[in-house]
Amino acid sequence: MLQLNRPQVLNALDRQMYLELEGKLAAAAADDQVRVVIFAGRGRAFCAGTDIGGLEGATVEAAQELALVENGAFNAIEDFPKPTLAALHGYALGGGCELALACDYRVVADDTFLGQPEIDMGWLPAAGATFRLPALVGRARAWEMMATGRRIDAAEAERIGLVQRVVAADALMAEVMELGRGLAQQDPQLLLRLKEVLKGGGERKEAVEREAQCLAQFATAAPAQQKIRAFLKRK
């Protein structure tokens, strides 16, 4: 588990934390003992966003460089070859929401508020929300969230497809750990291929070919064949 640990500032992410996240993910990707990565926050919030102190007095060049550092970390999450889970509680705002957007699975405590409030500070999201949020909730809802800066509660986040599961706050980590254990039992190469297939994009013809290749690769391999024979014996 990677836990954001700046509770005194609601785990606001500074430049060093973004770089550390990217480094830890690179190490976890190379470690065969790591099957799943869970992101959580210490204290009363998951993450209140990017530490805006890093933008005080910043030059245009420095602000742009920070955005690229942010995106480097979150792209590393999205491209991570193993399942990534976000355990959200309290607040997941700005960069905190964008970190969650980059994960495969988002489990949310029922006391959580999510949003992209950057417009209230005079700028727009710059760490993936402009392309990841519309992909999840649609362009119209993404526009509304970013144009108004409105915070949404956990129930609304689940209803619009921003998160997959809402649980009681006191059950959050137990639920996430149970989900993580289940995913850790799956074939890691199969989960990696699933991520690749879903990310593929393109025309339907290309998607059909990807699915066919995936079936051919895995259904004919020994693990799947053993399961097929076991299933047939039960009939």
CA–CA gap between residue 178 and residue 197 (Å, rounded): 25
| Residue 47: φ, ψ to 5° | -170, 130
Q: Is 45 helix (H, G, I), strand (E, B) or coil?
A: coil
Cβ–Cβ < 8 Å for 193, 217: yes
CB 130 within 8 A of CB 146: yes
Please check whether residue 166 is in contact with residue 108, taking contact to mean a CB–CB distance below 8 angstroms. Answer: yes
Phi, psi of 105 (to 5 degrees): -140, 135
Distance CA 73, CA 106 (A): 18
SS3 8: helix
Active-site residue set: 98, 118
Q: What sign results for the dihedral spanned by CA atoms 51, 127, 98, 26?
A: negative
Residue that the structure tokens 């129930």 belong to: 155
